[in-house]
Copies of this chain bind each other. A is one copy, B any other.
Amino acid sequence: MKKYVYSFEEGNKDMKSLLGGKGANLAEMTGIGLPVPQGFTITTEACTFYYQHNKNPPAEFDAQVKEKLQELEKKTGKKFGDPENSLLVSVRSGARASMPGMMDTILNLGLNDETLKGIVKKTGNESFAYNAFRRFIQMFGGVVLGVEKAKFEELLEEVKHSRKVKLDTELDADGWNEVVSKYKELVEKETGKPFPSDPTVQLKMAINAVFSSWNNPRAITYRKLNKIPDDWGTAVNVQAMVFGNMGNDSGTGVAFTRNPSTGEKKLYGEYLMNAQGEDVVAGIRTPQPIAQLEKENPRVYAEFKKIAELLERHYKDMQDMEFTIEKGKLYMLQTRNGKRTGKASVRIAVDMVDEGLITTEEALLRVIPTDLNQLMHKSVDPKAKAEVIAAGLAASPGAAVGQIVFDAEEAVEWAEQKKKVILVRPETTPDDIHGMVAAQGILTSRGGMTSHAAVVARGMGKCCVSGAESVKADIKNKTVTAGGHTLKEGDWITLDGTTGRVMLGQVPLVDPSLGGEFVKLIGWADEYRRLRVRANADIPRDAEKAFEFGAEGIGLCRTEHMFFEEGRLTFMQEMIMAENTEDRKKALAKLLPFQRSDFIGLFKAMKGQPVTIRLIDPPLHEFLPSREELIADVAVLKATGRNSAQLKEKEKLLAIVNKLHEFNPMLGLRGIRLGIVYPEITDMQVQAIMEAAVEVTKSGMRVKPEIMIPLVGHVNELKVAKEQTVKVAEEVLAKNPGVKIEYTVGTMIELPRAALTADEIAQEAEFFSFGTNDLTQTTFGFSRDDAEPKFLAYYVDKKILPISPFIELDRNGVGKLVKMGIELGRKTKAKLKVGICGEHGGDPSSIEFCHMVGMDYVSCSPFRVPIARLAAAQAAIREKQGMKEEIHMTA
């Protein structure tokens, strides 16, 4: 005979698939001897059977439930339906995985007019008893009998109104009794039957209701979206009731074994005497800090403290516990691993190693890598209340509070007056950089994760929310509307760049704190990881930051960002607008010293670590004025007939912009295509790199420049570009006899064709760096700037995609190309160095993938370096622990 019902003593924490999460947990606590209100769990197999047999439970089922119920009666010394000493139970669902949409809890099952009297008699507390009964009717009526929940609430309000009270707690026994009567009438009216009074019938109905809730529409949808198999089924937990509201020797509370904000090793929590869980939540009475319990009831406190320590040692993790004191006796209702801040997470992990509780491997696996963000950036105080008025993209982590300004100049002016400002713009351009430097944070209504604002802010480690489309900024009138509010210059707002939220007013922030535990943990990580971690940095300032965070080189220096800086853009435009090669070379010659000095700065900042420098990548029109504005200007100047000199000039400019205009610039004349059509650009860049390298080498520092050719799709492109690069490099070296520089020439793999023909490309490349931003764009056919606002969010929302492939590398599609690219590349050159320099280089799941496919390094923004170091260590540890099979190659 199959066993469908387990008492808590018969289970343990490893039986989650049979007993559900909650059941296994209650069983475990019972097993280690903790005071848990006893009960039993109906297995998920019973539920599965129920559905496989046209909603009939197994034949032996009723008898098994009866048997366990009798055991429970014996243990508690109470009897189900006994008017004198009745057993009351709670009934709860509990699936393998936490699953919203399933049935709510039913408390106080077993009550009816008779047992109620017994309770009154036993407790001497009419008010308590009637309230318990009405709560039961309300829960059972709503959940099991399907009576509209609002109708119960209406009746309760009616009674309170007629008795002129405002709070539930103000109702006396008589009042509650009236509510009970009205509730019973309601149920009979709605269901056509009186409220069931037989506890056995009540239980049977409740169990069936839990089974049924497995297939309610919300649960089905949730399972579908989360890929939870329909045949898992849910377990049902039946547990003896205990009451924290039976007088001043009763109470209820929640506590953590350590401080979930700071990680400090000290009980942390709160409790309320003479109260049930709901009362704590309702916030009518203020709970006491847990330390107070020591004074109020030292015996119970000591017992709870002991249990807390035991649970922590048992689960080897910080615990989040619920408890109830019934007439002086402590009961544990729940324990689970506690949620915590990043800071606490790190401290707890490190402390527990020091305490000998866990190994360093366990500690490293314990910390969620992205939680380190909280330690490196300011963050919004999780306890603060805030009105969110808009949500944009979490473009650059951190938080900022400031007064709104609408242009870069004002940002600088206000900042000079020691004001804190948030720069609000439709989008930013290179002209806004000084304003971005001056601001606490940046908010834009347009542009995605790779927009100018986002990229620059991440480089600066400055908070940025981008693409908040509902934020309408009226730059001219200096107002902005969002979430129904109209704000003007000088009004305060708060940005959370870690979540993308925009909040009204000054919300309290929490400072970052890179404590000793952080250093210790990251130090351990370095011992385990196999992947090297580099940073993406375009300017010496970012490179220095990266080095500080432990970057082992620069994986991507985007040289074009140098062209956007003040004083250079003019020469860049001169270069673009040159009508012949001669003029273009002249303009390039003016850019050369800037590039060279930037490279010198980068090389010096990295102190001998390798520096990968990517040749110019974006289409040239990005450096020119807006085409739309020129079209409008020219049209107006033509129509009005004013200022023909200006018209002529603008027309000339527009002609150039039009010539460079492209339908799909992402797929147009950019990357090495530029370098092939205008080889003089490559010449200048390579010359600047090598001259910088020579200078730094002469100063006695080692330099390892890695020159990277972008957007290669065919080996011939790389061949041509490499020949040219080597030629220029050798010319520079020839002029500096005696200076030896190990430089290499490699390529980005960022087009599907490059990955597909990586064997050919590896013949020319000395290293590969996967540009998974672009590779994701072309593999999916998504223009990130268009997809994110127009349909990608919708796709993720509807679970058509599990997550944006720009956040987490799509293993099934893009990942397949990456894997193929590495394998083909190494088929040609076994020791080919391979890295990644897209944003995925800072995402833990993607880093794990990079580890699995055998990359040599990941490169990410400077502030992501510690995260990447930890994620790389976790990947290595999981592999070592043979958890490889759990790492799905498929999404």
Contact = CB atoms under 8 A, between A and B. Distances in A.
A87 to B, nearest CB: 49
Contacts of A816: 756-757
B665 A786 contact: yes
A716 interface: yes
B668 A666 contact: no
Interface in A678-717: 711, 713-714, 716-717
| 3 interchain residue pairs of minimum CB distance | A632-B635, A664-B783, A667-B783
Given A667-B786, A752-B778, 11 more contacts: A664-B783, A667-B781, A667-B787, A673-B791, A713-B780, A751-B779, A752-B781, A752-B813, A756-B813, A756-B817, A778-B781
A774 interface: yes
Which of A628, A711, A778 has the most B CB atoms < 10 Å from its CB?
Answer: A778
Interface in A759-818: 760, 774, 777-783, 785-787, 790-791, 794-795, 798-801, 810, 812-814, 816-817
A800 B722 CA distance: 13
A798 B723 CA distance: 15
A800 B718 CA distance: 10
A756 B779 contact: yes
Contacts of A801: 714, 716
Interface string A161-174: 00000000000000
Interface string A709-736: 0010110110010000000000000000
A683 B810 CA distance: 30
B790 A668 contact: yes
A662 interface: yes
A522 to B, nearest CB: 36
A640 interface: yes
Nearest to A776: B753
Contacts of A631: 628, 631-632, 635
A121 to B, nearest CB: 60
Contact of A720 (B664, B711, B800, B810): B800
A677 B793 CA distance: 11
A752 B757 CA distance: 14
Contacts of A760: 812
A751 B779 CA distance: 6
A781 B748 CA distance: 13
Nearest to A774: B781
A753 B777 contact: no
Interface size class of A (residues with CB under 8 A): 35 or more
A676 interface: yes
Given A753-B814, A813-B756, A783 B666 contact: yes
A783 to B, nearest CB: 4
Interface of A: 628, 631-636, 638-640, 662-669, 673, 676-677, 711, 713-714, 716-717, 720, 750-753, 756-757, 760, 774, 777-783, 785-787, 790-791, 794-795, 798-801, 810, 812-814, 816-817
Contacts of A668: 783, 786-787, 790
A781 B716 contact: no
A369 to B, nearest CB: 26
A813 B665 contact: no
Contacts of A781: 666-667, 711, 713, 750-753, 774, 778
A630 to B, nearest CB: 10
Which of A631, A666, A779, A795 has the most B CB atoms < 10 Å from its CB?
Answer: A779
A666 B667 contact: yes
16 contacts: A633-B635, A664-B667, A667-B786, A668-B787, A669-B787, A676-B795, A676-B798, A677-B790, A713-B779, A713-B780, A713-B782, A713-B813, A752-B779, A753-B780, A753-B814, A774-B781
Given A639-B636, A639-B640, A813-B752, A663 B666 contact: yes
Contacts of A786: 662-665, 667-669
A757 B813 CA distance: 6
Given A662-B790, A800-B717, A667 B782 contact: yes
A669 to B, nearest CB: 4
Contacts of A711: 781
A628 B757 CA distance: 40
Which of A667, A716, A801, A814 has the most B CB atoms < 10 Å from its CB?
Answer: A667
Contact of A676 (B634, B673, B791): B791
A202 to B, nearest CB: 41
A817 B639 CA distance: 53
A14 to B, nearest CB: 33
Nearest to A782: B667
Contacts of A714: 780, 800-801, 813
B783 A753 contact: no
Contacts of A751: 779-781
Contacts of A787: 667-669
Contacts of A753: 779-781, 810, 813-814
A632 to B, nearest CB: 3
A662 B817 contact: no
A814 B757 CA distance: 10
Contacts of A800: 676, 714, 716-717, 720
A634 B751 CA distance: 40
A69 B824 CA distance: 55
Contacts of A717: 800
B779 A669 contact: no
Contacts of A640: 639-640
